């Protein structure tokens, strides 16, 4: 697992394109190491060999039978539109204390979106981006190629998380932009199933889209490592509460388990795939595990 990239190292690097490409390369290398075939690619047909074709594409068994050189052609199963939807609400500002200096959930989401978009454009997919938070709605219509990817990066670095998930008026405007037959990634902490967020997931999933919910968590939340008296603050309401860590730990972990069960049921009822990602673990490992899980479901 040495190929996977330590998030603590990446947190010291400020170059978003460099990090996205580095993580994507690690992810793609992991797929090769696992002997996985490409994403969305299938064998199409034979054609006669032409000078310049890679020798690796020659079908040598067919050559032995026919004494003629043929190469295998492959084509994408279909061109898809990949939509990347980012929850910009203030709760995404949470920073994990498990492995300083670390990313906040929002920073992790920015790098995750940049990486997914980079992989998508390398495959030739059209990639669109929507960011929702407070009274903000930021949109980049679907496009392909590296110049489009750089436009997405420019938009990403200028975003700030604020407020709560936006109201139904902005949500409807965003949903209307989503095209049918798309692969939609929704990146959020999903800790509070707001009525607006419920409505957004409901309407997106109701179309002819494949929807994937990527829930960002951190080690602090999963293990509750705190000791003594500790003050917690709601990043959206700014409400604070002082608690004893020892007495609050069991209550928190039970509440977290209950919430995850409720969230999982909510997503399953809408045929939305839910994937939990620990932001304190390498991102390319998370992407690798996600792809393997998708292949198992489809096999």
Instruction: Give the pLDDT confidence score for residue 20 in this predicted structure.
Output: 79
Using the predicted structure, report yes or no on whether residue 98 has a pLDDT greater than 80. Answer: no
Using the predicted structure, report yes or no on whether residue 273 has a pLDDT greater than 80. Answer: yes
- C-alpha closest to that of 125 among 102, 106, 145: 145
- What is the spatial distance between Cα 149 and Cα 28, in angstroms, rounded to a whole number? 18
Q: Quickly state the pLDDT bin for 47 (edges 50, 70, 90).
A: low
Q: Quickly state the pLDDT bin for 153 (edges 50, 70, 90).
A: very high
| 153 domain residue, yes or no | yes
- What is the spatial distance between Cα 9 and Cα 291, in angstroms, rounded to a whole number? 24
| Residues 72 and 82 occupy one common structural domain | no
More confident residue, 12 or 280: 280
Using the predicted structure, report yes or no on whether residue 170 has a pLDDT greater than 60. Answer: yes
Using the predicted structure, report yes or no on whether residue 40 has a pLDDT greater than 60. Answer: no
Using the predicted structure, report yes or no on whether residue 129 has a pLDDT greater than 90. Answer: yes
- What is the spatial distance between Cα 282 and Cα 294, in angstroms, rounded to a whole number? 19
| Residues 150 and 281 occupy one common structural domain | yes
- What is the spatial distance between Cα 100 and Cα 110, in angstroms, rounded to a whole number? 18
- What is the spatial distance between Cα 126 and Cα 152, in angstroms, rounded to a whole number? 12
Parent domain of 67: 41-76
Q: Per residue in 186-232, pLDDT tens?
A: 999 997 655 677 788 888 888 778 899 999 999 888 888 888 888 88
| Residues 45 and 129 occupy one common structural domain | no
- Work out the mean pLDDT of the chain and round it to a whole number: 79
Q: Per residue in 55-69, pLDDT tens?
A: 777 777 777 767 777
| Residues 211 and 120 occupy one common structural domain | yes
Instruction: Give the pLDDT confidence score for residue 73 in this predicted structure.
Output: 57
| Residues 59 and 183 occupy one common structural domain | no
| Residues 107 and 224 occupy one common structural domain | yes
- What is the spatial distance between Cα 117 and Cα 180, in angstroms, rounded to a whole number? 19
| Residues 23 and 128 occupy one common structural domain | yes
| Residues 66 and 201 occupy one common structural domain | no
* Domains held by the chain: number: 2
| 2 domain residue, yes or no | no
| Residues 112 and 259 occupy one common structural domain | yes
| Residues 197 and 208 occupy one common structural domain | yes
| Residues 197 and 70 occupy one common structural domain | no
| 174 domain residue, yes or no | yes
CATH assignment at residue 114: 3.40.50.410
| Residues 151 and 283 occupy one common structural domain | yes
Instruction: Give the pLDDT confidence score for residue 214 in this predicted structure.
Output: 95
């Amino acid at each position: 697992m040495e190929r996977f990239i330590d998030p603590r190292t990446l947190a010291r690097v400020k170059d978003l394109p460099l990090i996205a490409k580095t993580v994507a390369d690690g992810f793609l290398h992991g797929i090769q190491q696992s002997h996985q075939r490409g994403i969305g690619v299938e064998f199409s047909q034979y054609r006669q060999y032409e000078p310049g074709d890679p020798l690796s594409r020659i079908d040598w068994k067919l050559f032995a039978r026919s004494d003629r050189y043929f190469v295998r052609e492959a084509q994408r199963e279909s061109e898809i539109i990949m939509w990347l939807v980012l929850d910009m609400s203030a709760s995404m500002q949470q920073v994990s204390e498990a492995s300083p200096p670390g990313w906040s959930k929002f920073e992790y989401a920015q790098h995750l979106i940049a990486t997914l978009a980079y992989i998508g454009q390398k495959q030739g997919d059209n990639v669109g981006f929507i960011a929702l938070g407070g009274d903000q709605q930021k949109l980049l219509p679907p496009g392909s190629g590296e110049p489009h990817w750089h436009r997405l990066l420019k938009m990403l670095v200028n975003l700030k998380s604020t407020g709560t998930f936006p109201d139904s008026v902005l949500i409807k405007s965003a949903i209307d932009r989503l095209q049918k037959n798309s692969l939609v990634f929704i990146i959020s902490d999903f800790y509070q199933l707001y009525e607006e967020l419920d409505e957004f997931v409901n309407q997106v999933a109701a179309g002819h889209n494949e929807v994937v919910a990527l829930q960002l968590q951190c080690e602090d939340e999963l293990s509750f490592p705190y000791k003594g008296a500790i003050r917690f603050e709601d990043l959206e309401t700014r409400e604070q509460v002082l608690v004893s860590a020892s007495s609050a730990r069991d209550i928190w972990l039970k509440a977290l388990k209950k919430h995850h069960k409720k969230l999982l049921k909510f997503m399953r009822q809408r045929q939305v795939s839910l994937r939990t990602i620990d932001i304190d673990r390498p991102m390319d490992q998370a992407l690798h595990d996600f792809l393997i899980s998708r292949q198992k479901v489809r096999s």
